[in-house]
Amino acid sequence: MKKYLVFTLTAMMLTACTELQEKQSVSEISSSETPTAYQQEADQLRIPETEEHKPVNYKKQTGMWFPYIQYDDYMTGRTEEEFRDSVRKLYTEAKAEGVNTVYLHAHPSGDAYYRSDIFPPGVCLDGDYDPLEIMLEEAHALGLSAHAWINPLRCQTEEQMSALSDDIITKKWADDDDCPFIKLVNGRWYLDPSYPEVTELICRCTDEILDRYSVDGIHIDDYFYPTADPSFDAKEFEASGASDLRQWRMENCTGFVQALYNTVKSHDKQLLFGISPQGSVNANYETQFADVKLWAGTPGYCDYIVPQLYFGFRNETCPFAETLALWEEMTCPEVSLIAGLGAYKTGKPDKWAGAAGEQEWVEDEDIIRRQIELVLSSSADGYAIYK
């Protein structure tokens, strides 16, 4: 069954990529970079990397996430060469499936899978090598656009933080009972976006990556406020003089989002900044205080937005077709809409989908293909797969 699902997903992405061949690159890209059949040899897919990298991005984006939660499989306990071989295989397979853009987890939890002077190395990294540099080299060798994926506010667990060196800035903040910049929520530390010092640290993280690596963009996902509990920032809210907690929190998130956008553009206007929020519009406002209507509907906050539309067609709260249409209405022409698709749900019950949709992903193995077809017939600019 698993082999059948992999084959099906590969086949439908290959079919779809023929409809996504219109490309916009800020540097010249040869036609040899067009995705090829899965069976083609890896070295036939590879192209030489130029000495001076210019950002490479596609008007019609077919993306794929490579999250840190999978690093344990091909990074932990691996040599540099073993890690490179695994990465090369993964990206070669992704390109053969029609992928042209990869989101590479560089800063997932207050740590760094790159050479950083600010944050500690990621917990999955055992060897003395640079994971991001290798991932970028292998992605660019295949003509893939590669975006460094960061989580701005999420930091280490309480246990992980206690084990860090005392010279790490977030450790200093966590150890200082009078420091309000970082707070413990359900056993994990999170930065509080109401403080300019936090926005400055997030931008320093972005600067560090853009100064040192030939990425094509910066990508953030849906880790905004970690809780809706008013006690998280009650003192800050009271001191602000604001009267609406939700609006105040949204403004805090918008503040660091716009600062990130401006930071990226200060390095190179051809670099892209993308946001991947929750798929449910209401949940963004009620639980994470992310003003997605503003960010998607107004130029100057992001270049592309990838709502995580991880819903079946029969989902009782957010049915896929209707939710995609809602995002289409919200997104202005200057922002590219990329539909995030949850291929990882295939074959599994979805307990949050309601009675009508709970078994949909079990009963229908064709959901992702149908979703891709709908996206391609819509005004969206592409889709991204989370496996």
Query: Which pLDDT does position 323 carry in this prediction?
Result: 98
Is the domain of 49 the same as that of 135?
yes
The residue out of 168, 190, 212 marking a domain boundary is 190
Strands 145-150 and 101-107: parallel
- Spell out the residues 6+ positions from residue 314 whose beta carbon is closer than 8 angstroms to its own: 353, 356, 357, 360
Is the domain of 48 the same as that of 161?
no
Starting at the earlier edge strand, list the strands of the sheet with 188-191. 154-157, 188-191, 182-185
CA gap 267, 204 in Å, rounded: 12
Query: Which pLDDT does position 53 carry in this prediction?
Result: 76
pLDDT tens digits, one per residue of 238-286: 999 999 999 999 999 999 999 999 999 999 999 999 999 999 999 999 9
Residue 132 has pLDDT above 60, yes or no: yes
Is the domain of 179 the same as that of 319?
no
Is the domain of 173 the same as that of 290?
no
Is the domain of 176 the same as that of 290?
no
Is the domain of 128 the same as that of 216?
yes
Report the chain's mean pLDDT, rounded to a whole number: 90
Query: Which pLDDT does position 186 carry in this prediction?
Result: 97
Identify each DSSP E strand in 159-200 by its residue range.
182-185, 188-191
Measured in degrees and rounded to the nearest 5, phi and psi for residue 357 equal: -110, 0
Q: Which of 335, 331, 213, 204 is nearest to 274 (CA)?
A: 335
Q: Which of 160, 152, 81, 177 is nearest to 123 (CA)?
A: 160
Is the domain of 181 the same as that of 238?
no
The residue out of 141, 162, 190 marking a domain boundary is 190
Query: Which pLDDT does position 267 carry in this prediction?
Result: 97
| DSSP character string of 299-342 | TTS-SEE--B----TT-SSS-HHHHHHHHHHH--TTSEEEEEE-
What is the torsional sign of CA 259, 124, 134, 97? negative
Full domain range(s) for residue 66? 2-153+191-385
Is the domain of 76 the same as that of 184?
no
pLDDT tens digits, one per residue of 173-207: 999 999 999 999 999 999 999 999 999 999 999 99
Residue 117's Cβ-count burial label (10 Å; 0-12, 13-18, 19+) is exposed
- Spell out the residues 6+ positions from residue 381 whose beta carbon is closer than 8 angstroms to its own: 59, 60, 61, 304, 336, 337, 338
Residue 192: both structure tokens together: 């509080």
pLDDT tens digits, one per residue of 26-68: 333 333 333 333 334 344 444 444 457 789 999 899 999 999 9
pLDDT tens digits, one per residue of 70-81: 999 999 999 999
CA gap 105, 113 in Å, rounded: 8
The residue out of 140, 165, 190 marking a domain boundary is 190
CA gap 77, 376 in Å, rounded: 41
Q: How many domains does the chain have?
A: 2
pLDDT tens digits, one per residue of 144-153: 999 999 999 9
Contact between 353 and 360 (Cβ < 8 Å)? yes
